[in-house]
Amino acid sequence: MMVTVRVLNSYFGKKKEKDDRMGQQVGVIGAGSWGTALALLLHENGHKVTMWSALEEEIRMLEETHEHGQKLPGVKLPEDMIFTTALQAAVQGKDILVLAVPSPFTRSTAHRMKEYVKEGQIIVDVAKGIEEGTLYTLSQVIQEEIPQAQVAVLSGPSHAEEVGRGIPTTIVVGAGSRRTAEYLQTLFMNEVFRVYISPDMLGIELGAALKNVVALAAGIADGLGYGDNTKAALITRGIAEIARLGLVMGGRSETFYGLTGMGDLIVTCASMHSRNRRAGILIGKGYAMEEAMKEVNMVVEGVHSAKAAMALAKKYQVQLPIIEQVNAVLFEGKPAAHAVRDLMIRDKKLENPELSWE
């Protein structure tokens, strides 16, 4: 029996007054598991939520059952939530827009939204990825398609399955101005969803995208039957790779060792909620990449970010050995066990090149 934690609200006492955030009009663009969980969270915070999907059958299911039985089973949505396939209705007249489509569809969806977006509209991107052709972060993609918008990001260790059940979660909002970040912090935050703010949007997005690639590696190791030692090595050396690239690109080290870097990497490598880890497990067991993605039956963001990560490594002349081997397994047919062996027998290194003997 699935235990719900929403009773924590009563445990912590009566909710504090939210007059400054009550009644905001929110459009959630994308009705997958994460979009659905955030729509419920925002509704419970007192906002009026409209959810959009391009899939008529998905909207029909939500209207009839008020539950996403495929991606978030057991999480009931309120009767007064609006569901639509009309993008204009979901976008126009909203105080904020939450863009929750999978990363491969971010540009095409933003392009379709543009004509309905007002000047200064706040758009919060909650997907994680890097666009392969341009090597843009998703906020950069949205800003290019919708230049009149204020684009922010929301990220952190936050599986939709747990957020939908009200399990305590902490995340970070990144925005171009502190005022926008604090506004969004107030809109999203409640007794079971703690929100921090940061000006380092680039670092947040790089950590979010690249940890999915490392999580594939962690899953592959699980599929091969390796243990906790291997997982710990992949997490710690994985965050070293993410930070190495991110710092060269202009991100901040504090971000990579915080919630949206190390925090998100830990949960994605360790949890069976992670579609990237689940796909990696199947690949480690011998599935081809396409077979693993089909079996998971959800967008595996790490597959889409892996090639982009290597292109960034080449552009900025940074070594990413774990991510390089993931690419070899995914796209070159390299046996997973051989990839692990090649990682283990690399040239001898200092753990931290910045440290030296006197």
Catalytic positions, written as ranges: 211
In whole angstroms, how far apart are CA 13 and each of 3, 19, 22, 167, 328?
Answer: 20, 18, 19, 17, 53
Q: Distance (Å, rounded) from C-alpha 315 to C-alpha 305?
A: 15
Q: Long-range contacts: 181-187, Cβ < 8 Å, 24+? A: 181/152, 183/122, 184/96, 184/122, 184/124, 184/152, 184/154, 186/18, 186/20, 186/21, 187/21, 187/24, 187/26, 187/42, 187/45, 187/47, 187/96
In whole angstroms, how far apart are CA 238 and each of 211, 242, 321, 336?
Answer: 8, 6, 9, 17
Q: What's the DSSP call for residue 68?
A: -
Q: Distance (Å, rounded) from C-alpha 125 to C-alpha 115?
A: 18
Q: Which two tokens stand for residue 347?
A: 């040239």
